[in-house]
A = this chain, B = another copy of it.
Amino acid sequence: MKELSLSKVYQLLEPGPVVLLTTAHKGRANVMTMSWHTMIEFEPPQVACVVSSANHSFAALHATGECVIAIPARKLASKVVKVGNASGRDLDKLAAFQLTTAPAARVSPPLLVDCFANLECKVTDTRLVNKYNLFILEVLKAWIDPAQKNPKTIHHQGYGKFVVGGKTIKFKSRMR
């Protein structure tokens, strides 16, 4: 994987793909599927995301303040669903679903090397955690896999139905 400029991170999350979120707590790594996230700042890149207190990952994220957001392409869709349907309470999901990991540079949770992008994050604001399970994250370091060209992201419409990113269109724009 190759380092990506932090100024480009928003371009990966702004389209709204389903992502995988890894955590590590008490010597054990875990992974969950997450769709409720948004950019909130360009640089340093900041993200707001919901990790439900019903998710096993919640305690790890809350206690350690660290996670990795990994972005899967279409080919990983069936594993993404398996991750979403299982709980780290009962299962070592990384092993069970054969998700290959690599150490991150700045945080303890692992990178997922089959994903085309990995974002190392720390929690920076927990004011809305109690009421909404909403965490504010800062992206500390970003990686992309140059071998995955034009990866097709997947976008959850509910109940295991996903729309796959199709063709791209380009307009003259002053929008960043």
Task: State the oligomeric state as a number of copies.
Answer: 2
Count of interface residues, chain A, beta-carbon cutoff 8 Å:
58
A100 to B123, CA, bound (A): 42
Q: What residues make up the interface of A, taking CB atoms closer than 8 Å to B?
A: 8, 10-11, 14-17, 33, 35-41, 46, 48-50, 74, 77-78, 81, 84-85, 125, 127-128, 131-134, 136, 152-176
- Nearest to A163 among chain B residues (CB) is B165
B36, A39: Cβ atoms closer than 8 Å: yes
With the chains together, A16 CA to B35 CA distance in Å? 9
The residue from B16, B158, B171 contacting A77, defined by CB atoms under 8 A apart: B171
Whether A48 lies near B134 (C-beta < 8 A) is: yes
Contact of B157 with A162 in the complex, beta carbons under 8 Å: no
- Residues from chain B with Cβ under 8 Å of A46 in the complex: 132
- B171 touching A78, Cβ below 8 Å: yes
- A160's partner among B128, B136, B157, B175 (CB-CB below 8 A) is B175
Question: With the chains together, A161 CA to B39 CA distance in Å?
Answer: 17
